Structure 1
Amino acid sequence: MGSLLDWLIHFPPLLWGLEQVEEVAIRALKHGKIPQHVAFVMDGNRRWAREHRVETIEGHSLGFETLKNLLRVCLKMGVKEVSTFAFSIENFKRSKHEVDALMDIAKNSLNQITAHGDMVDQYGIRIRIVGDLALLKPDVYETVVNVVESTKNNTRATLNVCFPYTSRHEISNSVQSIVHLAEDGKLVPEDIDESLFEKHLLLNDSHPLDWLIRTSGVERLSDFLLWQVHEDSQISFIDSYWPDFSIWRFFPMLIRYQLQSQQGE
């Protein structure tokens, strides 16, 4: 399967369009193990913009298009849950101009994804916004609430947009929730275990994290899904900047994921 798929990706028949090649590649890959929960650290938008001598915001905008393409392919293959690190709480330290622009891109992107007839309708996606929502501007917060409410009954797949998020905030938030329950007399110390802790995480009711991918060549997690990463999670660090991370780079990586999964069984 690997050699055929590699050939289709690198030397697509001249009479075919990319859509046909994509469909053939997806059908071939579906014969192997498909991760049920994939997470992306979408890194490198700013560096991509600097190297191409364009505005930083253009890099972020192209990054959203990359996410849409990868999300579409993941859903076609049967991935049930995708998590994205869209905005770290630490990013508020950036210039006000960039933060405001990122907030506007996030708001417009969420509206675009949930537009009638777009991906949410086609694939039955539930969107969850995971993070400290109190930090959002009122107009962005209103969009977030509307998006979550309008998709909450969809059951075929889940998109977790971590925005604004850090694992430290998520973990401390879970601890605070459990402490409040204890103070109210609703539990005793013996009730506290991993299951209870996970129940109070912002990212709860999720599939186990199978695969985490970070672009831009940086090899660290940067406070993303630290609790969710476990001994069976595969982690891939790649050199591409996020706007350059196309589905044609994703497909060979998925083949390697499938081969490594077979070796681990």
Structure 2
Amino acid sequence: MADISIPRHVAIIMDGNGRWAKRRHLPRAAGHKAGVDAVRKTVRAAKRQGLEALTLYAFSSENWKRPEDEISDLMGLMKRFILSDLEKFAEEDVKLHIIGDYSAFKPDVVKLIDDALERTSGNKATTLAVALNYGSQDEITRVARSLATDAAAGTIDPASIDEAMVAARLDTADLPPLDLVIRTSGEQRLSNFLLWQAAYAEMYFTDMLWPDFDGDALKAALDWFAARERRFGGR
């Protein structure tokens, strides 16, 4: 019997890179670089803790509104992260999964992501799902449009549409149900992240800025989760 005190799937809204850099009188790019270091630590800690899946909110569909030079810095960090860490993750049996539409990125970034997905496709220990150009309202809209198209074509009966059918068309369809959402930096909102999936997830908010997050911080969140009484609306 599975140990329900250990979440199968944890998602993290990585917030606070800019504030981390500002407090140290550093450019925002330095905060993003420190944030990538935190990703490395957290992914490896997730594997040690036995998580089946870890989803990280890396680049939202709203992030395109940021200054062009900041977006360029983020893309550069993403490329360096894939190039420097892919082989290590592959050796550690970590599988990469993407949610969102990463085809909007430049061709060289898309190719790196495609290669990384292929390189890790057979791995089984832990799935690292990265949200890129992702917005949950867009995701749900895409599912609704897909179901409406099939209903109009007569391939499905509208009356047969249920929660399971919607879930099967979400970007997270291949991942375990979401158990725990962590948000750093003291903010307490989902910011258009996994709205459907988080329906019964526990919410853990910490004032810690993302670059300071590590294995110990993840363990603290998991210990908090283990003490929760999960009712799923039953009582």
Identify whether the pair has TM-score above 0.5, normalized to the shorter chain.
yes
Q: CA deviation at 1:223?
A: 0.4
Do the aligned partners of residues 88 and 253 (structure 1) sit closer, same or farther apart at CA in structure 2, a change above 3 Å counting? same
Tell me, yes or no, if structure 1 residue 180 matches structure 2 residue 152. Answer: no
Matched AA of 1:81: A
Query: How many pairs were matched up?
Result: 231
The Cα shift of 1:169 comes to 1.2
**1:126 counterpart = 2:95:** yes
Displacement of 1:36: 0.9
Deviations 1:136-159 (A, max 9, x none): 111111111111122222222211
Q: Which runs of 4+ in 1 moved over 4 A?
A: 261-265
**1:125 deviation in Å?**
1.7
Q: SS of the residue aligned with 1:163? A: strand
Question: Distance in 1 between the 2:49 and 2:218 partners?
Answer: 12
Matches within 5 A, 1:64-143: 64-115=36-87, 118-122=88-92, 124-143=93-112
| TM-score normalised by length of structure 2 | 0.91
Counterpart-to-counterpart distance in 2, 1:153 and 1:184: 35
Q: CA deviation at 1:32?
A: 8.8
**Residue identity matched to 1:121:** E
The alpha-carbon distance between structure 1 residues 32 and 166, as it changes in their structure 2 partners (threshold 3 A), is closer
Is 1:60 aligned to residue 35 of structure 2? Answer: no
Say whether 1:191 aligns with 2:160. Answer: yes
* Match status 1:154 vs 2:126: no
Unaligned runs of 5+ in 1: 1-30
Q: Deviations over 1:85-136 (max 9, x none)?
A: 0011101001110011111111221222312xx12321x1221111122321
Contact 1:127 1:148 in 2 (8 A): yes
Partner of 1:211: 180
The aligned counterpart of 2:139 is 170
What percent of counterpart residues are identical? 33
Equivalent residue for 2:199? 230
State the secondary structure of the residue aligned to 2:197. Answer: coil
Q: For the residues of structure 1 that align with 2:160 and 2:4, how far apart are their CA atoms?
A: 40
For the residue of structure 2 that corresponds to 1:142, the secondary structure is helix
- Measure the CA separation in 1 of the matches of 2:129 and 2:120: 12
Determine helix, strand or coil for the equivalent of 1:236.
Answer: strand
Structure 1 pair 250/109, CA: closer, same or farther in 2 (3 Å)? Answer: same
Q: Is the 8 A contact 1:133 1:141 kept in 2?
A: yes
Distance 1:191 1:134 in 2: 32
RMSD: 2.0
Code of the aligned partner of 2:114: V
Rg: which structure is higher?
1
SS in 1 for 2:133: coil
Cα deviation for residue 174 of structure 1 reads: 1.1
Change (3 A) 1:113 1:176: farther
CA contact (8 A) 2:90 2:119 kept: no
SS at match of 1:260: coil
In structure 2, stretches of 5+ residues that fail to align are none
Contact residue 41 and residue 213 of structure 1 kept, 8 A: yes
CA distance in 1: counterparts of 2:100 and 2:134, whole angstroms = 4
1:198-218 per-position Cα deviation (integer Å, ceiling 9, x unaligned) = 111112121111111000011
Q: Which has the higher contact order (CA 8 A, sep 6+)?
A: 2
